[in-house]
Amino acid sequence: MFESLSKIALAAGFIGAGAKSFLSYYINGPKCEKWPLWFQVRRDAYVHVVKETAYAPLTDDQIEQVDFEKIAAAEKKGNMAGRELPRRLGQVKQSAIDVSDVPINENLFSGAGPAEAGLRQLTAKDRCNGSGEASRVIPYEILVPKAMLKTADTGEKKKALFTCAPLDGDNGRIILYLHGGGYRYGSPASHRLLVGRIALRTGLRCVSVDYRLATPHPYPAQLHDAYIAFCYLLQQGFSPKDIVIAGDSAGGNLVLILTLLLRHTGITGIRGLVLLSPWADLAERRPSIEYNRPYDTLFAHPLTSPLDHARMYYAPGRKLSLEMLTDLSHPLVSPINGDFRDFPPTLIQAGDKEVLYDEITQLYENIRTANDPRHAGKYVYECYPDMIHVFQQVFDLPQTKAAISSIGTFVREL
């Protein structure tokens, strides 16, 4: 009964916030020049719900009051909804990687900073589970663009498209996609329409990985799953130069730290990276966190709160300390601090009204200046005026169509 009343109140608040935004648009004009009416109303109504359902701010003195298991259960229940892939984009098939089929040498993780111990433990646990118990699997989806399906003139060729085996010619490349969601939400299903559009524009198959989420699986479980997924593609016959790694938000963070870890373990030559609003710095809050708060949809607790996204991902339940701050600044957590010399070709897209704008801009500068100016064309930063965090998920915006088209161009020219 109480839950039903709460939902009714929330729905009423959503409608009220939308109506207020509608009137404001016509009386005061749009908050941003390039925002259409429907976008502003949807954004304002969504932000109202986020604020109404957000946990009250807490400090570390109150950390014992936090029921992290209850929060994890609520987040699992309220995870982003999945969407069907329209036939005009292509087709999708679910599958899974049996981790026992992808042997990993944990000694390669030696010297991997705050990730080392966790990566070693997770690798050892997978190996033990493979001897007696059922092996762990990493679910994934493979999305095949419509144009590629049309060229498959036999049943066997079409069947081959839905495997992770290389194909002949230019279509022998593949995209490994790592979804966003703050490391606590999201799945291949929630990002299916975005990934399907990327597959369509690039003309390549996309493997979208359902990596483990925090808080039940804190850092570095996500990095571990991404590393296994990349090694699985190598095992299937791809080389690093055949693989483009892409991701949005926290998935963009994962793309970057995976690339740095791969280099640490001796794997280089990745074809390219595509980063949509990447979360690059978990340790420092830059001014755009505040000056873009009135426009963006992201809601963030301060780092001093045990409910901060970075802390909930990295070490849920632990109090903030100098040691944790040092760990959060490590390149395998906050890739903005990485060594970007000889980095793969990279496309970064962001909106100038997102709260992560400053750190994304700094990330690009760090990558660009670390490399030979003669190769500056390999590193592209596209900043879209008046756009918010991962605006590429709002498919009716002309800026979204332009951004996804640009991703297609960038990947095809690699």
Each residue's pLDDT, cut to its tens digit, for the chain (414 residues) gives: 445 555 666 677 778 888 899 899 999 999 999 999 999 999 999 888 888 777 777 888 888 888 888 877 877 776 777 788 999 999 999 999 999 999 999 999 999 999 999 999 999 999 886 556 778 999 999 999 999 998 877 778 888 899 999 987 656 899 999 999 999 999 999 999 999 999 999 999 999 999 999 999 999 999 999 999 999 999 999 999 999 999 999 999 999 999 999 999 999 999 999 999 999 999 999 999 999 999 999 988 889 999 999 999 999 999 999 999 999 999 999 999 999 999 999 999 999 999 999 999 999 999 999 999 988 899 999 999 999 999 999 999 999 999 999 999 999 999
The pLDDT of residue 9 is: 64
- The answer to whether 354 is a known catalytic residue is yes
Give the whole-angstrom CA distance, residue 116 versus residue 250: 20
The pLDDT of residue 1 is: 47
Distance between alpha carbon 287 and the CA centroid of its chain, in Å? 22
DSSP per position, 80-140: PPP-PPPTTTEEEEEEEEEGGGS---GGGGTT-GGGHHHHHHHHHHHHHHTSSSPPPEEEE
Are 124 and 136 within 8 A, CB to CB?
no
Q: How far apart are the first and last CA of the chain?
A: 57
Give the whole-angstrom CA distance, residue 230 versus residue 239: 10
Give the whole-angstrom CA distance, residue 389 versus residue 403: 13
398-412 helix and 192-202 helix, angle to the nearest 10 degrees: 50
Q: Catalytic pick from 187, 249, 277, 334?
A: 249
Give the whole-angstrom CA distance, residue 39 versus residue 353: 14
Count of alpha carbons within 13 angstroms of residue 327, beta-carbon side: 18
The pLDDT of residue 280 is: 98
Q: What 3-state class would DSSP assign to 238? A: coil
208's enclosing H/E stretch is: strand 205-209
Q: DSSP alpha helices (H): ranges in 292-397? A: 309-314, 322-328, 357-369
Q: How many residues does the chain have?
A: 414
Q: Catalytic pick from 187, 224, 301, 354?
A: 354
Find the angle CA(130)-CA(136)-CA(140) to the nearest 5 degrees: 140
List for the chain the helix, strand, coil content (%; round to 5).
Answer: 50, 10, 40
- The answer to whether 224 is a known catalytic residue is no
The pLDDT of residue 2 is: 46
